[in-house]
């Protein structure tokens, strides 16, 4: 009498299949981490621009408080110190307010370099013009 042998079927995943699945998952995770890092860079950049806009707005208020269409040297120096203060402005920043032109327009410029910027890269710049102050 003949005995039947059970057919030998696949009982689970092979090691190669598991390694390929891990490789595919790790490539996907690296892509997600890259997107997260880029999103963080954009967030920091947006925060810097918002900070610069707020500092420019402070300069406009100082000019309006003077009532002359210009900013006094005391207020100007205090504002520049705030721009350079890392707690308020930028550690590697500077601010400049031009004299009014023939039309009474002032240009407020704030420049800064992010701490993680590569050496030799161009500084970031925020410029706004204000007239009729």
Task: Return the higher-pLDDT residue of 77 and 15.
Answer: 77
Helix (H) or strand (E) holding 36: helix 15-66
What is the pLDDT, as a whole number, of residue 110?
96
Confidence class for position 1, pLDDT limits 50, 70, 90: low
Q: In what order do the strands lie in the sheet with 124-131?
A: 93-97, 105-112, 124-131
Q: What is the mean pLDDT of the chain?
A: 88
Q: For the chain, what's the residue count? A: 133
With a cut of 80, say whether residue 7 has pLDDT above it: no
C-beta neighbour count of 119 within 10 angstroms = 5
The model's pLDDT over 88-102, given as tens digits with 9 standing for 90+, comes to 999 899 999 998 888
CB atoms within 10 A of CB 23: 10
For the chain, list the strands marked E by DSSP.
Answer: 93-97, 105-112, 124-131
């Amino acid at each position: 009498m003949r005995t039947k042998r059970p057919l030998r079927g696949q009982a689970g995943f092979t090691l190669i299949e598991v390694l390929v699945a891990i490789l595919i998952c790790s490539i996907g995770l690296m892509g997600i981490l890259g997107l997260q890092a880029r999103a963080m860079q954009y967030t920091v950049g947006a925060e810097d621009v918002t900070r610069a806009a707020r500092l420019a707005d402070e300069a406009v208020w100082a000019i309006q408080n003077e009532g002359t269409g210009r900013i006094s040297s005391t207020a100007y120096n205090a504002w520049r110190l705030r721009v350079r203060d890392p707690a308020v402005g930028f550690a590697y920043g500077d601010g400049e307010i031009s004299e009014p032109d023939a039309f009474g327009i002032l240009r407020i410029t704030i420049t800064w370099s992010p701490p993680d910027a590569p050496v030799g890269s161009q500084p970031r710049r925020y410029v706004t013009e204000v007239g009729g102050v």
